[in-house]
Amino acid sequence: MGNSGWKDILTKDASIAEVSNLLKLVFQHMVKNANKLLLIPLIIGIFAFLIGLLMYEKKQKATYIIAAEEETASGFEGLMAQFGLDVGGSNPGGVFKGENLVELFKTRSMIERTLLNPIPDSDPPQLFADVFFKDTKHARKSAFKNIDFKQDRSRHDRRTDSALFLTYEYVRDEVLSVSKPEKKIGFIFVNVTHKSADVAIAYSHITISTVTDFYIESLTRKARLNLDILRYEADSVRDILNENLMITARESDLNVNPLWQMMRVEHSKAMIDLQISISLFGELIKNLKLAEISLRRQTPLIEVIEEPRYPLTEVGFRPWQWGVMGLFAGLLLALYLSFRHFNRDMETRFEQKSNAKK
C-alpha cells in the first residue's frame, strides 16, 4: 500500500489490486464480526419493540375539509354605495381570511368554548372537557381531584378554570390540528385525533359548528344591527301610517259645508301626513329588503367540503414500527462500531509493516 496510510487508497488513483485487497479485508472483517453486526440490531430492535408496546395507544383521526368564502366588493355593492346604501361585505378587512381563519380554530376561547359542550348521546352525560382532561398528565394530581366542569363558565372556580386551561393546552398540542396545505386553494383541513372514534367525530363536528357560529356572528354583526334598526323603524312608521289612515278617514266622514274651506284644513293636514307616511314607509321597506339581501349574502361563510365517516384512519406508531426503527438504529450503531474496530486494525497493520521496512 505504499508509505502512506491505508485511507489514502480512497482519495488517490489506486490500482485494482490495492482496491481488491482492501475490499477483501473489509469482507473478512465483516464475517469475523458477523455476530456483533446481527446481535446489536436485534437487541436494540427488541428493546424498541417493547417500548412501543408500552407507549402504543390506538388513536383515530377524524378529518373535516372546509372552505371559507373570501369575496371582494362586487359591482352590486359599489353601485349601492353610490346611492348611499351600505349592503355590507362578506369579509370586511379580510379579518378571517387564509391563515387567520386557521389560527382562529386554535385560539383559547374557541377551544374552551368547544370543550364545554356536552358529548352527544353520552351515558352518563359528559362534557368534552371531562373526557380530554382525563387524558392529560395533570388528571392524576391531587390538586385536581374530583374536577367538575360546567357548561356555564361563570360557575367555575379558580381550580376548575386552571384545569380547563390545561385541557386547552393538551387539545391544542395533541388533539386538534388545523392546516391550509395550499395557499392558492382555500381548503382548510381540521383534524381531531383521539382513541375513541365517536369522540373524535363528535368533537370535530362541534369545533366546526362553534367556529362557524362565531365566524358568522362576527362578520354579520353590522348587517344584523342595521336590519334590526330598519325593522324597528319600519314597525314604528307602519303604526304612524295606520293612525294617519284612521284620521284621514275620520275627517272625510265629517258632514262639512263645502263652502266653508276652513273646516277642510284638518282633512288636508291628514292627507299630507298620510302621503309623507306612505313615502317614508316605502323607503324603509326598500332599505329593509336590501339589508335582508346583505345578510343572506353573508350566511353561511364556511362550507363543509368533506366530513369524517367510519371507519376512521388510525394514527401513531405501532409496536412493529418501533421495532423496525430500532433495528435500523442498531444496524447503524453496529456498522459504526465495526468501522472503528476495522480502522484500528488497519492502522495497527500499517504500523507493523512500516516498522518491518525500517
Condensed to tens digits (0 to 9), the pLDDT of residues 6-22 reads: 555 555 555 666 667 76
Sign of the CA dihedral with 191 first, then 193, 197, and 200 last: negative
101/202 same-domain check: yes
Last residue of a domain, which of 297, 328, 343?
A: 297
Domain count, the chain: 3
Would you say residue 1 lies in a domain? no
**324 and 311, same domain (yes or no):** no
Q: What is the torsional sign of CA 215, 220, 222, 224?
A: negative
- Give the integer Cα–Cα distance in Å for 220 and 205: 22
Same domain, 232 and 327: no
Contact in structure between 338 and 30 (CB atoms under 8 Å): yes
pLDDT of residue 200: 92
13/113 same-domain check? no
Q: Which residue has the cell 481488491?
A: 20
Looking at residue 342, its pLDDT comes to: 73
Domain ends where: 268, 297, 326? Answer: 297
**Which segment of 36-40, 154-158, 300-304, 313-317 scores lowest on mean pLDDT?**
300-304
Residues 311 and 170 in one domain: yes
Residue by residue, DSSP assigns 187-235 as: EEEEEEEES-HHHHHHHHHHHHHHHHHHHHHHHTHHHHHHHHHHHHHHH
Query: Could you tell me which residues come within 8 angstroms of residue 87 by beta carbon, excluding any fewer than 6 positions away?
Result: 76, 77, 80, 223, 290, 291, 293, 294, 297
Q: Same domain for 274 and 331?
A: no
Non-local CB neighbours of 49 within 8 Å, separated by 6+ positions: 319, 320, 322, 323, 326
Of 227, 335, 235, nearest to 287 by C-alpha is 227
pLDDT of 8 reads 57
Boundaries of domain holding 48: 6-55+317-357
How many other CB atoms are there within 10 angstroms of residue 251's CB atom? Answer: 18
pLDDT digits (tens, 9 = 90+) for 160-169: 999 999 999 9
Tell me, yes or no, whether 76 and 144 share the same domain.
yes
Query: In the numeric block, which cell numbers belong to residue 102?
Result: 386557521
Q: Are residues 102 and 188 in the same domain?
A: yes
d(CA 25, CA 3): 19
- Which cell is 128 given? 368534552
Q: Which of 266, 297, 328 is the last residue of a domain?
A: 297
- Confidence at residue 37, expressed as pLDDT on a 0 to 100 scale: 77
- Mean local confidence (pLDDT), 121-136: 89
Domain membership flag for residue 147: yes
Per-residue model confidence (pLDDT) at position 355 = 63
Whether 98 and 154 share a structural domain? yes
Our measurement of the distance from residue 357's CA atom to the centroid of its chain's CA atoms, rounded to an integer in Å, reads 74
- CA–CA distances in Å: residue 56 to residues 51, 136, 200, 345: 8, 16, 18, 43
Let me know whether 86 and 142 are in one domain.
yes
- Residue 194 and residue 288 in one domain: no
Tell me what percent of the residues of the chain surpass a pLDDT of 90. 19
Taking only the tens place, the pLDDT of each residue in 237-264 is: 888 878 877 777 776 665 555 555 555 5
Residues 165 and 102 in one domain: yes
Whether 326 is covered by a domain: the verdict is yes
What confidence tier does 82 reach under pLDDT thresholds 50, 70, 90? very low
Query: Each residue of 148-197: pLDDT tens digit?
Result: 899 888 888 899 999 999 999 999 999 999 988 877 777 889 999 998 89
State how far the alpha carbon of 288 is from the alpha carbons of 81, 161, 299, in Å.
16, 44, 17
Residue 172 within a domain: yes
Q: What pLDDT is recorded for position 111? A: 94
Domain annotation covers residue 157:
yes
What is the mean predicted confidence (pLDDT) over 28-40? 77
Q: Does 144 reside within a domain?
A: yes
